[in-house]
Chain A
C-alpha cells in the first residue's frame, strides 16, 4: 500500500513501516519521528544512518549490535528512542521491522 508522508507518496506495510528504502528522505524521517514521539537529535541521526547501513549490508539488527556500534550504548539508545527503541528507530530509518522466525 502507499501513503503520503511529508508530502511524498511512499510505499508502506500495514504497520506503517516503509518498504522501499530508496524513497526515504530526512523530511519523511522527521515526520515519522514526530508521530512516534521521538525528538531527533544529532545522535539520533547518526544511529539512523548506521542502521540503514546495516540493512543495506544485510546484517540482521539486534539491540546488542546497536550497543556495540561505537555510536551509542544500549542505555542511551533507550533514551534516544524510548519504548521499543529498535522498532522505533527502524521505522524512522525506513527499513522493515526486525522480526523473529515466526
Chain B
C-alpha cells in the first residue's frame, strides 16, 4: 500500500518537475536564439507585468475550475474595473476606497455569474460568456471608446513602486497566489469544492452546500479580476474598455497546464503558477520570432486548444484506469 502512495506522490511531483523543466527549456532556448531581444530589461519587465495579471486571474480561474465551472467574464471585468477605478480616482477618491469599491464590483459580477449557474442552471460557458459581452459592451458605451487617463500619482504608484527591487505588482500577485495555493490545500471549504467538482450530484446528496460554494468560487474569481483591473489601471495610468481581451483563455490554459481539468475536481495553484510562466514565455517566444505583439491573442487561443485537448486525453486515461 505504501508503495502505491509513493507512486501517486511521484506523479504529482512529476507534474511540477515536468512543468519546471519545460519552462527552463523554453527560457534557455530563447536566451540562446534571441539574446538581444529576449534578455533585456524592457522585455523582462513586460513579461513580468503580463504574468502578474495572468497570475491574479488564474487564482480565481483555478478555483472556478475546481468546482467544475469556468469563468469567461474575467477579461471583461478587468476592463470594467480599470474604468471604475480610473473614474473614482479622477473624482478624487482615495486609493484605499477606490480599491475596495472596485474589487467589490468585481465580486458582485462573480456572484451574478454564480447565481446564473446555480439558480438559473445555465451552463457556465453560456452564463459567463453572456456576462462577458454585457460588461464589455457596457465598457465601450460608457467610455465611448476613450481612454480615461490623467490619474493621480498616488494611484499609479500602487503598482509601479518597487519593494527591495521587486515590483509591487509582482509581489502582490505572487504572494496572493501562494496564499491561495496554501488555502486550497488546507481549508475545509476548498476541500469541499474539490468534492463538488468531482461529482456535483454526490456532493449535493452528501449535504455539501454545493450551490453556495459554487457562488463563492465565482465570487472569488470576480474578486481577483477586479483587483487585476485596479492594478492594470494603476500600471498603465489609465482605464480602458479594451483591457483584458483574451485574458480568460490564458488563465484557463495556465490552470489546465498546472493540473486543473475542465470537468472539475482537480487543480493546484502551485501547478497553475508554472502554467502562467509557460503561457507567458511561449507567448513571448511567438512575439520574439513573429515580431508582432498582436500574435499574443492567437497564441493564447492555440495554447488553450492544445491544453484542452491534453485535458481530454488525460481524462479518458483516468476513466480507463477507472474500469
A binds B: no
A residues adjacent to B (C-beta < 8 A): none
